[in-house]
Amino acid sequence: MSQSLKIHIDGQLLDQADAKISVFDHGLLYGDGVFEGIRFYNDRVFRLDEHIDRLYDSAKAIHLTIPISKSEMEAAVLETIRANDLHDGYIRLVITRGVGGLGLSPYRCEKASVIVIASTIALYDPEVYEKGLKLVTCSTRRPSHDTLSPAVKSLNYLSNVMAKIEAIAGDADEGVMLNAAGYVAECTGDNIFVVKNGIIYTPPVHAGALNGITRKVVIELARARGYELVETEMSRYELYTADELFLTGTAAEVVPVRVYDERVIGNGDPGPITRQLLAGFVEITQSTGTPIYEAAVVS
């Protein structure tokens, strides 16, 4: 954005140029912290409570105490959006371990820091939602449950970054990450759905998929429309032979795939089920959510 944003850091709204953290913050030194990405549409924050619940769960999983309550976190999110006079956009909530010494021990950090950024985002060009993405398989694997649970949205996203580098090198829009057993987990930042013979499939959380908020919404929409939806382990074969393939994520929303590892998906155009779920997702995001401004009314 060209305008200078107001950034919330530890209870203060600061000009973008003045929004800084210490070089001794363990979020910077060791990637020690958690985050959430949240969308807001038409003066409403979409699934705010669910995102905040997941943020606090991630923090608890890494033994990180967030110094404010959930209600205070919600107020900080809304205040930051209002301070920037935004009506549609993206929020990044970041919780760092805080300032500490040079050394891994988190117990040298006296207090975690809370950062709220509200801005705009467009992950893909609008035409991608009509034509679809190109995907490739990445050699970088999704971290397994015996290292750090994929359910934790930690600040250490290096494996995703390395996979994204591979995808870009392969002239693709996104990269598919496999788990240690070779099954499909998710993309570098999105969940994966396959449509075959009218049935919708998606990798389960235990396969390494993030339990995405948008993923949950799409599952709800699919089942409400009478589709059978199955969470099951899938190899690349199931993706190669899919009738339809699409991704979901907070930033990506619902986006179709046209090519995967040089295999054309279906006839190369977004399929009818993908289009139906995308339309349903747009409808629900425009009509529900936590009001940002006093004049906002939830349908």
**299, part of any domain:** no
Cα–Cα distance measured from residue 76 to residue 42, given in angstroms and rounded to the nearest whole number: 19
Q: What is the mean pLDDT of the segment spanning 262-290? A: 97
- State which of 119, 146, 161 marks the end of a domain: 119
- Determine the pLDDT at residue 1: 45
Total tally of structural domains belonging to the chain:
2
Q: How confident is the model at residue 297 (pLDDT cuts 50, 70, 90)?
A: very low
Q: What is the pLDDT of residue 294?
A: 73
Mean pLDDT of the region 211-237: 97
Average pLDDT for residues 57-74, to the nearest whole number? 98
Residue 144 has pLDDT above 70, yes or no: yes
Q: What is the C-alpha to C-alpha distance for residues 192 and 216, in angstroms, rounded to an integer?
A: 12
- For residue 2, pLDDT over 70 is answered with no
Domain span at residue 209 reads 128-285
Q: Is residue 294 part of a domain?
A: no
Closest by CA to 8, choosing from 72, 99, 51, 64, is 72
CATH number at residue 261: 3.20.10.10
Which residue, 117, 212, 138, 215, is CA-closest to 182?
138
pLDDT recorded at residue 125: 86
- 114 and 247 part of one domain: no
| 150 inside domain | yes
pLDDT at 92: 98
CATH code of 28's domain:
3.30.470.10
User: Residue 290 falls within a domain, yes or no?
Assistant: no
Residue 207 lies in a domain: yes
Together in a domain, 197 and 231: yes
> Are both 148 and 271 inside the same structural domain?
yes
pLDDT digits (tens, 9 = 90+) for 146-186: 888 888 999 999 999 999 999 999 999 999 999 999 999 99
pLDDT recorded at residue 248 = 98
Q: Could you tell me if 205 and 151 are in contact, meaning their C-beta atoms sit under 8 angstroms apart?
A: yes
Residue 291 falls inside a structural domain: no
The predicted structure's pLDDT at residue 225? 97
**pTM score, two decimals?**
0.93
Q: Is pLDDT of 78 > 50? A: yes
Catalytic residues: 153
Q: Same structural domain for residues 113 and 238? A: no
276 & 175 share domain: yes
Q: Are residues 226 and 161 in the same domain?
A: yes
Q: Do 87 and 195 reside in the same domain of the chain?
A: no
